[in-house]
A and B are shown apart, each in its own frame.
Chain A
Amino acid sequence: MNSPWMVETKQLTKILGGRTVVDRVDMRIQKGEIYGFLGPNGAGKTTTIRMLLGLARPTSGQIHMLGKDIRTERIAVLRKVGSLVESPSYYGHLSGYENLETVRRLLDAPKSRIDEVLAIVRLTKDARRPVKGYSLGMKQRLGIATALLGAPELLILDEPTNGLDPAGILEVRELIKSLPRTHGVTILISSHLLSEMDQMATRVGIIAAGRMMFEDSIGRLRKQAKGSIRLRVSEPEQAARLLLSLGCQAEVASDELTLERLPDERIAVLIARLVQADHQIYRVEESNATLESIFLQMTGTGGSL
């Protein structure tokens, strides 16, 4: 099978203890992309990634990576995939160099590759220290180095910035952004923070309650963001009734009216009519829906936050 996709899942489903954690997910990732896999905690991101890596078995559905079926050609696929799943895994009693060596032996990569990846994540200086003495950011970078060790074509990073301080987040982000350019790697990166993906991803997939809600470019996601117009007036209830009689639905919240986005002329007319009806208008504001708010809308977590 010659598929153009680096990753392609069809109707991927995982049921754990009677609960459908991943529900018929279709995911497609193109070569050279940074694919942002977004969703609130517990949406099924990690479970999906575990299935991609062959760590968990799908209840039903198919996974093709690099054009190969993961069920029949798991080892051949994993040879070209680097991964970092959730919290970094390391052997604390071994040094950073030795940690990489344990993985290098399994990958059969050249020894020089260890120094290369250490340089990429800038851990060369600390490579001889036991990893248990590393900071979380350093452990996470070691995890990324491990993932890069086999010179993968596809890099799967699950929440790589989780638990890092702002400086660490920035560092990891810059590192990830530079990879497709410098090494031609395709990256799947999951996160629960949209703002983070906004700065990294070329395409995003949004998952909520196990279902894929959206899969397209960030630009397309922005277009979905409908703006609105807010009015602060002296008597909102009456003003809303007047606007309704003019054919315009307005939502009333305390002393504010919220209208959907309208053409300029229409707004001008509506405001003129309000003024004629002796309403005092204090503010007219346009608000652009942020990506965050679309994200919250889609994932339905707005209420619970």
Chain B
Amino acid sequence: MLRVLSTEWLKIRRKWIWFLVVLGPLGAVGLQVVNYGLRYDYLMALYADDLWHGLTRNVNIMMLPAMFIGLAILASLTAGIEHQTNAWKQTLALPVSRSSVFVAKFVLTALLLFVSSTLIIIFTIIFGWLLGLEMSPPMTTLLQAAYYPYLAIMPFVALHTGLSTIIANQAVPMTIGIVNMMLATFSLWMPYWMPWIWPHLDNRYDEPLYSVLAGIVTGGLVLLTSLVVFVRKDVR
């Protein structure tokens, strides 16, 4: 498994993937730079009792759509490397199990998204300091705001790993990714059982961990289903 992952790591060299991994969080925080730049006085007054919390909430508004589209792009790029010259037939004729190839693609996408989530925290802190907020940010809040949605969004990471590897035409997963992003934007009107709302960590019990748990469990199920389809499929 680690061997497969190390080749995946090698394959994404010079593919601009790392650029996107940085661009996403930079964009999400960058828009808050604009937001705070335009309405500094209003926002500072609004969140006066907890400035860090206010900033984190604002960053989150941009972060979620970016994550939805970002994971679709990452899954598509990492799978696209194989589709381009149909390298599947070479990779899968090597002495590795098909499931390890598939799981490696999932882990790669998940890891790249994890890096983006971590960068969100770093960029938020830097921006907070630039705004002149307290020097010691509330780390628990910041970590939860980044990593809880990351875990709750796992069903979509698994779904896109499946779609992008199984379907050669990457327009299909990308379209679905865009639709997901839009659905997620309006998901606060959705019933709680729908996965688009989970990354917002909003649930009936007011306990973010339930959303996280639902994401991890569903993510596992989606991953398993996609894995079975991928393993059984004939390679063109």
* Given the contacts A91-B11, A93-B15, A55 and B95 also touching, CB distance less than 8 Å: no
| A186 within 8 Å of B (CB atoms) | no
Residue of B nearest to A130 (CB): B14
* Given the contacts A55-B234, A55-B235, A98-B13, A78 and B95 also touching, CB distance less than 8 Å: yes
* Given the contacts A91-B81, A94-B14, A102-B11, A55 and B89 also touching, CB distance less than 8 Å: yes
* Given the contacts A89-B87, A91-B11, A55 and B93 also touching, CB distance less than 8 Å: yes
Give the contacting residue for A106; candidates B84, B85, B88, B96; CB below 8 A: B96
* Given the contacts A88-B85, A146-B90, A107 and B95 also touching, CB distance less than 8 Å: yes
A78 & B10 in contact (Cβ 8 Å cutoff) = no
B90 & A107 in contact (Cβ 8 Å cutoff) = no
| A258 within 8 Å of B (CB atoms) | no
Q: How many residues of A contact B (CB 8 A)?
A: 32
Residue of B nearest to A108 (CB): B3
B235 & A56 in contact (Cβ 8 Å cutoff) = yes
Residue of A nearest to B89 (CB): A85
- In the assembled complex, how far is the CB of residue A50 from the closest CB belonging to chain B, in whole angstroms? 7
Residue of B nearest to A146 (CB): B90
- In the assembled complex, how far is the CB of residue B33 from the closest CB belonging to chain A, in whole angstroms? 33
Give the contacting residue for B93; candidates A54, A76, A90, A91; CB below 8 A: A54
A105: which B residues are within 8 A, CB to CB? 3, 6-7, 10
Q: How many residues of B contact A (CB 8 A)?
A: 27
| B175 within 8 Å of A (CB atoms) | no
* Given the contacts A50-B234, A56-B235, A89 and B85 also touching, CB distance less than 8 Å: yes
Tell me the bound Cα distance from A57 to B233 in angstroms: 9
* Given the contacts A88-B85, A92-B84, A94-B14, A107 and B235 also touching, CB distance less than 8 Å: no
A residues in contact (CB < 8 Å) with B = 50, 53-57, 75-76, 78-79, 81, 83, 85-94, 98, 101-103, 105-108, 146, 150
5 further contact pairs, Cβ within 8 A, besides A106-B91, A107-B94, A150-B95: A50-B235, A55-B235, A86-B89, A91-B11, A102-B10
29 contacts between A and B (CB under 8 A): A54-B92, A55-B89, A56-B234, A75-B95, A76-B95, A78-B95, A79-B95, A83-B90, A85-B89, A85-B93, A89-B85, A89-B86, A89-B88, A89-B89, A91-B84, A91-B85, A91-B87, A93-B14, A93-B15, A94-B14, A98-B13, A102-B11, A103-B90, A105-B7, A106-B4, A106-B7, A106-B91, A106-B95, A150-B95
